[in-house]
């Protein structure tokens, strides 16, 4: 318990107000397995490889409030699978150890080339490189890991890693600054030299954290949380998926003395620091009717935003189940946030494909994209997720904050418009082919049908004989054969009529398609 406020001191400001010891940030980092980009992600094979590493074990998502059709898919592991850390992995994250998130490193400047005089001088004139001073070093954002990494894998190949952390300073301002630093300002670097060291002997000897040795073995180059977590899951790329927030996102549980004021609610909802001056609008001052705020009860307030969720509870140590609501959020609400975030990433990936292929649309590719959109509608787009009001309101609030409905309509319109354009192109090409058949080949076919075998001269024709001595009889038979001339004239007249009606460019396009050997989908 925190010490009570002395009566003879000035009242605490909003930033200095204490928060509950169970206040937790569940940081969520998203990945996409490379096999999913080619549509070849095998969830069963991924699970076998994951379990062989020995870091995770399957965890059942036991949520009886799910609607029946979703509960069947979740329990069978067809839609979403969860994995919890084994004892080996859990021992790497001692809840008593102090970790530090560092600020993003500054880009190093290239050294200026030395002049000729400096190059010829003695060594005493060479510039001395100073070591960074510990006194002026950024203290970073200290925290403790209270929930080791958990894993959620969706059948599309999207992987989400959840890590539960708590800032070491239990004040509202420190919580806001930690949330802002990690989510917005890029304070998610873990330097090997500042990781908690492990005890190596009875005399106080210590050794580097095991993650440092794992990083050296894997030869990872970065120091972000995203880089470190890839050590625990085989086959994950460091790059963030298309549409993902570059820093970790968060689902927070915050215990306060009372409901925070409008300015603090604004900071917590949109992840702003305690030192940032805020003047909320009249809409943000009101809770009732606000599209990004929801009151589950008289002692709870849920704040939604595109980069995270903050669930406020008061007082500091509420009685009953609310006193341990941080674990309830981890077990029952975090995976619902992951399902909604997956919808957003899925749709943004389709939208990026539309933008990338718009310069040269391919009907076959967009046919697969329409199939993917149908898969999203049938399997992932769920308007309601639970028969329990709290869970369903939370899910619907997330979808509204991320504007999943509007994003779906936008992506559907993009794919539909391009597909209609391709359909028009296919119809235009079909009309061109029909026009060519009608104007050019139909008269030729009529001539051949009338004269049949008499269309060509009656002799054994060989091209080489036309260049041999005594070939004049063959030339005369060809030049003065009426049906052959009629055949040629009908083909020329049909071609001129086709060019007159549709243009020479259309004829060139058809000839180019025939020479390339490609179909109308190109």
pLDDT at 3: 41
pLDDT at 135: 55
> Model confidence over 326-385: pLDDT tens digits?
999 999 999 999 999 999 999 999 998 888 877 777 777 777 888 888 888 888 888 899
Q: How many CB atoms lie within 10 A of CB 516?
A: 9
pLDDT at 463: 60
Find out whether the peptide bond into 315 is cis, omega within 30 degrees of 0: yes
Q: How far apart are CA 375 and CA 389, in angstroms?
A: 27
129: Cβ contacts below 8 Å, ≥ 6 apart: none
CA dist 84 → 249, 326, 360, 406, 487 (Å): 19, 17, 45, 34, 79
pLDDT at 195: 93
pLDDT at 356: 81
351: Cβ contacts below 8 Å, ≥ 6 apart: 407, 410, 411, 414
Contact 46, 151 (CB under 8 A): no
Q: How far apart are CA 61 and CA 78, in angstroms?
A: 12
Structure tokens at 94: 């001692």
- For the segment 82-100, the average pLDDT, to the nearest whole number, is 95
Contact 268, 261 (CB under 8 A): no
Q: Where are the domains of the chain?
A: 143-199+208-275+290-410, 464-521
Which region among 61-65, 438-442, 511-515 has the lowest average model confidence (pLDDT)?
A: 511-515
Q: Please name which of 77, 60, 230 lies closest in space to residue 154, comparing C-alpha atoms.
A: 77
Which region among 142-156, 226-240, 325-339, 365-379 has the lowest average model confidence (pLDDT)?
A: 365-379
Answer with the residue of higher pLDDT: 155 or 39.
Answer: 155
Give φ, ψ of 224 to 5 degrees.
Answer: -75, 165
DSSP secondary structure string for all residues of 98-134: -EEEBPPPPPPPPPPPPPHHHHHS-GGGSPPPPPPPS
Q: Please name which of 305, 265, 308 lies closest in space to residue 285, comparing C-alpha atoms.
A: 265
172: Cβ contacts below 8 Å, ≥ 6 apart: 14, 15, 16, 17, 18, 19, 256, 260, 264, 274
Taking the chain, what is the end-to-end CA distance rounded to the nearest angstrom? 70
Task: List the Cα angle 389/166/274 in 5-degree steps.
Answer: 90
Please report which residue ranges of 231-278 form alpha helices under DSSP H: 262-270
Contact 248, 27 (CB under 8 A): yes
Contact 181, 29 (CB under 8 A): no
Structure tokens at 138: 């950024």
Torsion of CA 128, 134, 138, 141, to 10 degrees: 140
pLDDT at 460: 63
Query: Which residue has tokens 């890590």?
Result: 163
pTM (predicted TM-score): 0.80
Give the H/E segment covering residue 143.
Answer: strand 141-154
Q: How far apart are CA 338 and CA 45, in angstroms?
A: 22
pLDDT at 516 > cutoff 90: no
Structure tokens at 142: 């200290």
pLDDT at 12 > cutoff 70: no
pLDDT at 520 > cutoff 60: no
pLDDT at 37: 78
pLDDT at 52: 95
Query: Which residue has tokens 């470190």?
Result: 228
* pLDDT interval class at 112 (50, 70, 90): low
* Alpha-carbon radius of gyration of the chain: 35
CB-count burial class (<10 Å; 0-12, 13-18, 19+) for 194: middle
- For the segment 245-251, the average pLDDT, to the nearest whole number, is 93
Which region among 83-97, 104-118, 172-186, 486-500 has the lowest average model confidence (pLDDT)?
A: 104-118
* pLDDT interval class at 113 (50, 70, 90): low
Give the H/E segment covering residue 46.
Answer: helix 43-53
Q: How far apart are CA 303 and CA 236, in angstroms?
A: 31
> Model confidence over 382-399: pLDDT tens digits?
889 998 999 999 999 999
Query: Which residue has tokens 């790329």?
Result: 237
pLDDT at 464: 65
Under DSSP, the state recorded for 188 is -
> Model confidence over 49-79: pLDDT tens digits?
999 999 999 999 988 888 888 888 888 888 8
Task: List the Cα angle 254/164/148 in 5-degree steps.
Answer: 155
pLDDT mean across residues, the chain: 84
Count CA atoms within 13 Å of residue 150 on its CB side: 24
pLDDT at 130: 47
């Amino acid at each position: 318990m925190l010490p009570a406020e002395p009566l003879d001191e000035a009242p605490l400001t909003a930033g200095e107000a204490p928060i509950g010891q169970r206040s937790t940030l569940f940081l969520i980092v998203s990945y996409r397995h490379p096999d999913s980009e080619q549509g070849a992600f095998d969830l069963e094979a991924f699970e076998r490889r994951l379990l062989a590493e020995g870091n995770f074990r399957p965890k059942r998502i036991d949520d009886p409030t799910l609607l029946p059709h979703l509960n069947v898919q979740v329990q069978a592991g067809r839609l979403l699978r969860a994995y919890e850390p084994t004892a080996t992995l859990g021992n790497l994250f001692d809840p008593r150890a102090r970790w530090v998130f560092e600020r993003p490193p500054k880009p190093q400047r290239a050294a200026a080339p030395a002049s000729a005089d400096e190059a010829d001088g003695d060594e005493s004139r060479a510039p001395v490189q100073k070591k960074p001073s510990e006194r002026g070093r950024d203290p970073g954002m200290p925290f403790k890991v209270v929930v080791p990494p958990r894993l959620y894998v969706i059948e599309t190949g999207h992987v989400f890693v959840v890590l539960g952390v708590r800032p070491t300073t239990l004040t509202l301002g420190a919580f806001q600054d930690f949330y802002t630093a990690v989510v917005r300002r890029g304070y998610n670097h873990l330097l090997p030299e500042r990781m908690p060291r492990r005890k190596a002997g009875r005399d106080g000897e210590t050794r580097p954290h095991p993650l440092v040795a794992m990083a050296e073995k894997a030869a990872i180059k970065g120091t972000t949380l995203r880089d470190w977590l890839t050590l625990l899951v085989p086959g994950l790329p460091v790059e963030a998926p298309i549409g993902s927030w570059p820093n970790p996102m968060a689902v927070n549980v915050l215990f306060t003395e009372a409901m925070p004021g409008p300015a603090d609610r604004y900071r917590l909802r949109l992840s702003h620091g305690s030192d940032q001056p805020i003047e909320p609008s009249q809409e943000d001052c009101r809770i009732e009717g606000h599209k990004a705020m929801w009151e589950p009860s008289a002692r709870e307030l849920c704040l939604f935003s595109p980069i995270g969720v903050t669930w406020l509870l008061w007082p500091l140590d509420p009685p009953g189940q609310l006193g341990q609501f941080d674990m309830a959020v981890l077990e029952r609400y975090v995976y619902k946030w992951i399902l909604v975030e997956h919808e957003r990433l899925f749709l943004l990936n389709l939208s990026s494909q539309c933008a990338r292929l718009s310069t040269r649309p391919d009907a076959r590719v967009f046919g697969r994209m329409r199939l993917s959109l149908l898969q999203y509608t049938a399997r992932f787009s769920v308007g309601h997720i639970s028969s329990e009001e709290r869970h369903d309101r939370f899910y619907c609030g997330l979808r509204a904050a991320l504007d999943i409905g509007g994003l779906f309509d936008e992506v559907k319109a993009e794919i539909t418009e391009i597909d209609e354009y391709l359909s028009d192109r296919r119809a235009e090409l079909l009309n061109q082919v029909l026009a060519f058949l009608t104007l050019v080949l139909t008269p030729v076919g009529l001539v051949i049908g009338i004269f049949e075998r008499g269309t060509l001269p009656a002799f054994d024709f060989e091209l080489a004989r036309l260049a041999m001595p005594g070939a004049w009889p063959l030339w005369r038979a060809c030049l003065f054969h009426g049906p052959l001339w009629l055949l040629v004239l009908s083909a020329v007249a049909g071609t001129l009529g086709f060019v007159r009606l549709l243009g020479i460019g259309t004829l060139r396009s058809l000839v180019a398609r025939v020479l390339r050997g490609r179909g109308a989908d190109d």
